[in-house]
Amino acid sequence: MINRRQHLLALAAATTLAAGTAQAQSDTVKVGVILPMTGPSASTGRQIDAAIKLWMAQSGGKAGGKKVEVIVKDDAGVADTTRRLAQELVVNDKVVALAGFGLTPLALATAPIATQSKTPMVVMAAATSAITEASPFILRTSFTLPQAAVGIAEWAPKNGIKKVVSLVTDYGPGNDAEKYFTERFILNGGTVMEKLRTPLRGADFAPVLQKVRDAKPDALFVFLPSGQGAQFMKQFGERGLDKAGIRLIATGDVTDDDQLNDMGDVALGVVNSHHYSAAHPSAANKKFVADFQAANKFRPNFMAVGGYDGIRLIFRGLDTTKGAGGEALLNAMKGQIFESPRGQILIDAQSREIVQDIYIRKVERKDGQLWNIEFDVQKAVKDPGKLK
Ligand code: DHB
């Protein structure tokens, strides 16, 4: 005798199986991309969307012998919306993979759906270390804040910076940036005078910048998410911190290539660490930037590269699985190594986390434009957040 519950379970299993077979037999596979196309993080969505479109044009939109249809949905940066859209993409559209995720809370809200539905989830933007531990189906092609922050914490004490104030946005990636920057800076003999935070939404930098002026550190260390750098830099200049001899050091999120060119002289000389600069001098990057700029009126930033590599990772996985999704696709994406516009990258098979070079860069003017010019590199950096 089977009871009603067992019957329903069997029915659900049969339906899933049928859907899986239909999917495997169809000529088209779907990938669901959820991005903030509107709202305060719209630049992240715009960059990643443009990069995916570039990849689709370059690859002919085919992988594993199938046509790949990319469905882009706008979550406006609201986690409840991200989760609902992910659910719909999995249940109604039967996507083989979920991708995008412009902010940490959006990725974390979706993790349980990836786990329950066994759908691989490629994080192209969000960068809190713990995200890849939220589901065994998550892989990442962006970066982690511990990766980025340790680079500048190594450089600063060797270059006359002994006393700093830190300033971060008060949520996951800011916590990581503050923790990993200050720990490494102190280990290298530096002193952290004060740790300041601003809210994710509606940040006004004037009050914290006044505190920094009063504290008179050698430098201010800053992490802010993509999109906030220009406003911060303007207020830093207006308050005269640069003229007061307070240097600015940062993760490259602040000197974001999306906004850098409009920041003006105040940005010149800012030393920062990150995984991607549009000025990275490789042949692969020169082609990427040229093709991207031919199709768009803006420069690619680190978000664009996370999107470009993320869709490439999914395509490569689909090539191996001949278009199948689920655990087969997850396994096919683990351990991938390829040359990104940023340099060589690896998706570590065990942690599903990206391993990449971290560059130390200085903002300079070249041919009338501002760029993050790389002058030093840490090779093949694993996420320091996973080593504890
Ligand atoms: C995150 C968002 C960003 O725009 C960024 O530059 C770094 C991290 C995040 O929410 O994880």
Residue 154 has what pLDDT? 98
Query: Token match 């130390």: residue?
Result: 360
Using the mean position of ligand 1's atoms as its centre, give its distance from the Cα of residue 244 in Å: 30
3-state secondary structure 182-249: HHHHHHCCCEEEEEEEECCCCCCCHHHHHHHHHHCCCEEEEECCCCCHHHHHHHHHHCCCCCCCCEEE
- Ligand 1 binding pocket mutation candidate from 226, 257, 272, 275 (most atoms within 8 A of CB): 226
For residue 32, what are the β-bridge partners? Answer: 71, 98
Over range 5-30, report the average pLDDT.
57
- What contacts 248, CB < 8 A, 6 or more positions away? 219, 220, 222, 236, 241, 242, 270
Mean pLDDT of 240-263: 96
Say whether pLDDT at 19 is over 90: no
Averaged confidence pLDDT in the chain: 94
SS3 label, residue 180: helix
With cut-offs at 50, 70 and 90, classify the pLDDT of residue 3: low
List, in sequence order, the alpha helices (H) in the chain: 4-25, 42-59, 79-91, 104-117, 145-155, 172-187, 206-215, 229-238, 283-295, 302-321, 326-333
Q: Give residues (CB < 6 A) around ligand 1.
A: 44, 103-104, 126-128, 172-173, 225-226, 253
- 252 in helix, strand or coil? coil
Alpha carbon of 23 to ligand 1 centroid (Å): 34
| Amino acid 203: pLDDT | 85
pLDDT at 9: 47
pLDDT for residue 22: 46
Q: Which of 34, 141, 253, 372 to mutate to test the pocket of ligand 1 (most atoms within 8 A of CB)?
A: 253
- In sequence order, what are the beta bridge partners of 100? 34, 123
CA of 11 to the centre of ligand 1 (A): 41
Among 99, 73, 81, 93, smallest CA distance to 30 is for 93
Ligand 1 center from residue 169 Cα (angstroms): 10
Nearest-atom number in ligand 1 for the CA of 128 is 11
Residue carrying the six token digits 């979706």: 110
Confidence (pLDDT) at 57? 98
* Contact status, residue 184 vs residue 214, Cβ threshold 8 Å: no
- Nearest in space to 93 (alpha carbons), one of 23, 145, 45: 23
Gap from CA of 39 to ligand 1 centroid (Å)? 14
Interior CA angle at 213 toward 196 and 198, to 5°?
A: 25
**Two tokens, residue 342:** 């940023």
Quote the pTM value: 0.94
The string of pLDDT tens digits covering residues 261-273 is: 999 999 999 999 9
User: Around Cβ 361, how many Cβ atoms within 10 Å?
Assistant: 26
On the question of pLDDT at 20 being above 60, the answer is: no
What is the rounded CA–CA span in Å between residue 266 and residue 276? 21
Cα 303 to Cα 164: distance, rounded to the nearest angstrom: 28
Residue 14 pLDDT exceeds 90: no
Distance of CA 96 to the CA centre of its chain: 21
Task: Please report the atom of ligand 1 found closest to the CA of residue 105.
Answer: 10
Residue whose CB lies within 8 A of the most ligand 1 atoms, among 41, 44, 104, for a mutation test: 104
Give the count of beta carbons closer than 10 Å to the beta carbon of residue 17: 10
Measure the CA–CA gap between 190 and 187, rounded to whole angstroms: 7
The string of pLDDT tens digits covering residues 140-196 is 999 999 999 999 999 999 999 999 999 999 999 999 999 999 999 999 999 999 999
How far is residue 39 from each of residues 89, 109, 201, 312, measured CA to CA in Å? 21, 18, 11, 27
Which token pair is 208? 């914290």
Q: Is the pLDDT of residue 18 over 90?
A: no
Model confidence at 4, pLDDT cuts 50, 70, 90, reads low
Q: What is the pLDDT of residue 26?
A: 84
Question: What Å distances lie between residue 377 and 272, 273, 280, 340, 374, CA to CA?
Answer: 12, 9, 11, 16, 8
pLDDT beyond 80 at 296: yes
Beta bridge partners of 198: 169
Q: In the structure, what pLDDT confidence band is assigned to residue 202 with cuts at 50, 70 and 90?
A: confident
Confidence of residue 52 (pLDDT cuts 50, 70, 90): very high
Q: Taking 70 as the threshold, does the pLDDT of residue 137 lie above it?
A: yes
